[in-house]
Amino acid sequence: MIPRYAPKDVAALFSDEHRFETMLEVELLAAEGLAEHGVVAHRDVAVLRQRRPVIDAAFVADVDAREQVTNHDTAAFVDVVQSRIGMPEGAWIHYGLTSSDVVDTALCFTLSQAMDIVITDATALRDALTRRAMATIDVPVTGRTHGVHAEPTTYGAKFALFALQVQRDIERAQRARTSIAVGKLSGAVGTYSNIDPAIEAYVCARLGLAPVPATQVIARDRHAELLYACASLGTAVEQFALEVRHLARSEVGEAEEPFTVGQKGSSAMPHKRNPVLSERLCGLARVLRGYLQTGLEDVALWHERDISHSSVERVILPDALQLTVYMLRKATGLADGLVLHPERALENLTVGSLGLVFSQSVLLALVESGVARDDAYRVVQNAARRSVDEGRNFRDVIGGDAEVTLNEEALAKAFDTNRLLAHRGRFIEALTWRP
């Protein structure tokens, strides 16, 4: 991932140093497990721990150099570890294991750590949206369907629905975290031919992973599920960001991104305050969905394994986790800092819409008065068209329409925003995690 979109804490999890550190821990735990079951002397395992090599840039460089000879990265890693520890104790490193035992278990451990960060940051976004929902649930705004004025809603209802969507994604991420928190140390084709299942159980227990049946590799549907959780979170962020972009349009003007001192919206036009962050988030959501497609293609492997997935995962898994966290953190800042313009929203609702947002209320009032629904629909539809064509307020047109026999009380009820929004509290009731 390019540094621009790489949170340092997540990027560190996918560094070579962290990868080798985790692989080394799997190797040492396996040796400990062998000692617990009488295969290796406890004294030898103690030496392995005492001589544990420091995983630094020099170690990484040595592995890279050794790989030029072995043309096998895990074999190169094992060779360097054994040479640093020394013989005869170093011979117990990688005893009875195959590369995927170490690589897959270490990767799943790292992905579990990364998902913990994702879940934490998704929760922060959910909570930021929840706070805005609770603060603005009573602030009316025009609801739009197909981009066209529909009926009144509130800012708070919008924020609440975004928060609920993120909450569902948190639950998906939690399930994906559970699914990926697994390990295997079962040998070349997963049959434990040269290692006892108890060793697998020992290592996984100490890493907080669940041992699972496998071929030579852990099944990749687990990784695809993780990528779906990331892509879904990205899409939730995109949904929120897309709404910001629409509300920030000059013709709408109901919200805008925070604009800091010294910021420039355009290199050419000083008046511009473009929704650049929201646009960036919408673009990155597309990248995340692309990783999901690639991850799904990694699921089907030849027989007990091939490595067509390996090169792919070196790119998409680190990138997907980093992008997801980047997007969540940026979206949280956007949710907290989003500038709302309730006055403009009210103007759009009442004046800008010409009052047409109350057309259904008038329709139903006519039906209640005894007019057949289709007849009432045609009356209201014609009045609405005249309102638009003549640029007149819909209520004035309705009030002067001879076919509309509603009294003033019925008209006042039909054009009452508070009546239409009487149940807005249900959105807040659905936010069961709120403080």
Question: Which residues are part of the catalytic machinery?
Answer: 146, 266
Q: How many CB atoms lie within 10 A of CB 308?
A: 12
Residue type, 360: Q
Comparing C-alpha atoms, which of 72, 74, 63 is closest to residue 98?
74
Q: Return phi, psi of residue 107, to 5°.
A: -65, -45
Distance CA 195, CA 185 (A): 8
Residue type, 341: H
3-state secondary structure of 71: coil
Distance CA 48, CA 194 (A): 21
- DSSP one-letter string for 3-41: GGG--HHHHHHTSHHHHHHHHHHHHHHHHHHHHHTTSS-
Q: Return phi, psi of residue 211, to 5°.
A: -70, 135
432: left (phi over 0), alpha (psi -120 to 50) or beta: alpha
Return the structure tokens found at 420. 């239409």
Comparing C-alpha atoms, which of 337, 238, 223, 343 is closest to residue 286?
238
Distance CA 312, CA 319 (A): 11
Return the structure tokens found at 216. 């030579």
Q: For 154, what's the count of Cα atoms within 13 Å in the CB-facing half-sphere?
A: 23
| Cis peptide bond N-terminal to 88, omega within 30 | yes
Q: Return phi, psi of residue 201, to 5°.
A: -65, -40
Q: For 367, what's the count of Cα atoms within 13 Å in the CB-facing half-sphere?
A: 11
Comparing C-alpha atoms, which of 184, 181, 185, 183 is closest to residue 194?
185
Between the alpha carbon of residue 392 and those of residues 348, 359, 386, 407, the distances in Å are: 14, 14, 8, 20
